[in-house]
Amino acid sequence: MNVIDSQPYELLIGQRWTAGSQGHTFDTLNPATGQVLAQVHEASEADVDAAVRAAHEAYEKYWRKTTPAERGRLLRRLAALFERDREKIAWIETLNVGKPITHSLDSLKAMPSSLEYFAGIIPAVRGETIPVGDNDVLNFTLREPLGVCALITPWNYPMTLTVNKLGPALAAGNTVILKPSEVTPLSAMALARLFEEAGFPPGVVNVVNGQGATVGERLVTHSLVSRVSFTGGTVTGARIQASTASDVKRVTLELGGKSPLIVFADAPLDKAVAVAAGDIIKNSGQVCIACTRLLVQESVRDEFLGQLQQRLDTVRVGSPSDAATEMGPLVSAAQKKRVEKYIQLAGDEGATPAVHGNLLLDNATQPGFFVRPTLLLNSHNRMQSAQDEIFGPVQSVIGFRDEADALRIANDSRYGLAAVLFTHDGGRALRMARGLQSGSVAINTGVRTSFDAPFGGYKQSGIGKERGLEAIYENTQLKNVKYDM
Q: Which of 206, 231, 259, 325 binds ligand NAD (CB under 6 A)?
A: 231
Query: Which of 286, 281, 384 is CA-nearest to residue 335?
Result: 286
Residue 38 in contact with ligand NAD, rule: CB under 6 A: no
Q: Minimum distance from CB of 58 to ligand NAD (Å)?
A: 22
Q: Which is nearer to ligand NAD, 156 or 206 (CB)?
A: 156
Q: Which of 10, 47, 182, 326 binds ligand NAD (CB under 6 A)?
A: 182
Q: What is the x/- site pattern for ligand NAD, positions 374-413, by CB under 6 A?
A: ---------------x-x----------------------
Q: Which residues pair with 225 in a beta bridge?
A: 148
Residue 342 in contact with ligand NAD, rule: CB under 6 A: no
Q: HSE-up of 426 (CA within 13 Å, CB side)?
A: 0
Three-state secondary structure string covering 419-439: EEEECCCHHHHHHHHHHCCCC
Q: Minimum distance from CB of 417 to ligand NAD (Å)?
A: 6
Q: Does the annotation mark 288 as catalytic?
A: yes
| Cβ(264)–Cβ(285) below 8 Å | no
| Cβ(284)–Cβ(393) below 8 Å | yes
Q: Minimum distance from CB of 197 to ligand NAD (Å)?
A: 26
Stretch that binds ligand NAD, among 101-109, 215-223, 314-322, 369-377 (CB under 6 A): 215-223
Residue 239 in contact with ligand NAD, rule: CB under 6 A: yes
Give the number of other CB atoms < 10 A from CB of residue 64: 15
Q: What share of the chain is helix, strand, coil (3-state, %, to 5)?
A: 40, 25, 35
Stretch that binds ligand NAD, among 96-104, 127-135, 236-244, 305-313 (CB under 6 A): 236-244
* Helix (H/G/I), strand (E/B), else coil: 193: coil
Q: Minimum distance from CB of 231 to ligand NAD (Å)?
A: 5
Q: Minimum distance from CB of 219 to ligand NAD (Å)?
A: 7
Q: What is the x/- site pattern for ligand NAD, positions 184-213, by CB under 6 A?
A: ----------------------------xx
Options 42, 254, 389, 403, the catalytic residue: 254
Region 276-305 residues binding ligand NAD, contact defined as CB under 6 A: 288
* Helix (H/G/I), strand (E/B), else coil: 217: helix
Phi, psi of 455, rounded to the nearest 5 degrees: -140, 135
* Helix (H/G/I), strand (E/B), else coil: 266: coil
Q: Which is nearer to ligand NAD, 72 or 260 (CB)?
A: 260
| Nearest-5° Cα angle at 410, 408 to 414 | 100
User: Rounded CA gap, 219 and 174, in Å?
Assistant: 16
Q: Minimum distance from CB of 474 to ligand NAD (Å)?
A: 13
Residue 447 in contact with ligand NAD, rule: CB under 6 A: no
- State the number of binding residues for ligand NAD (CB under 6 A): 30
Stretch that binds ligand NAD, among 128-136, 146-154, 192-200, 472-480 (CB under 6 A): 146-154
Query: Which of 204, 111, 220, 196 is CA-nearest to residue 158?
Result: 111
Stretch that binds ligand NAD, among 59-67, 113-121, 186-194, 225-233 (CB under 6 A): 225-233
Q: Which residues pair with 177 in a beta bridge?
A: 150, 206
Q: Which is nearer to ligand NAD, 331 or 383 (CB)?
A: 331
Q: HSE-up of 64 (CA within 13 Å, CB side)?
A: 18
Residue 416 in contact with ligand NAD, rule: CB under 6 A: no
Q: Minimum distance from CB of 290 to ligand NAD (Å)?
A: 9
Q: Which of 216, 285, 353, 373 binds ligand NAD (CB under 6 A)?
A: 216
C-alpha distances in Å from residue 470, one per residue of 68, 169, 400, 458: 17, 12, 36, 15
Q: Minimum distance from CB of 87 to ligand NAD (Å)?
A: 23
Give the DSSP H/E element, type plus range, for residue 306. helix 301-313
Query: Which of 251, 226, 245 is CA-nearest to residue 174?
Result: 226
User: Rounded CA gap, 182 and 167, in Å?
Assistant: 22
Contact residues for 135 (Cβ-Cβ < 8 A; gap 6+): none
| Cβ(276)–Cβ(255) below 8 Å | no
* Nearest-10 crossing angle of helices 101-108, 68-97: 170
Stretch that binds ligand NAD, among 116-124, 135-143, 253-261, 317-325 (CB under 6 A): 253-261
Stretch that binds ligand NAD, among 88-96, 188-196, 249-257, 360-368 (CB under 6 A): 249-257
User: Rounded CA gap, 158 and 178, in Å?
Assistant: 11
Q: Minimum distance from CB of 468 to ligand NAD (Å)?
A: 14
Q: What is the x/- site pattern for ligand NAD, positions 150-169, by CB under 6 A?
A: --xxxxxx------------
Q: Which residues are catalytic?
A: 254, 288
Residues in contact with ligand NAD by CB under 6 A are 152-157, 179, 181-182, 212-213, 216-217, 220, 231-233, 236, 239-240, 254-257, 288, 389, 391, 417, 457, 462
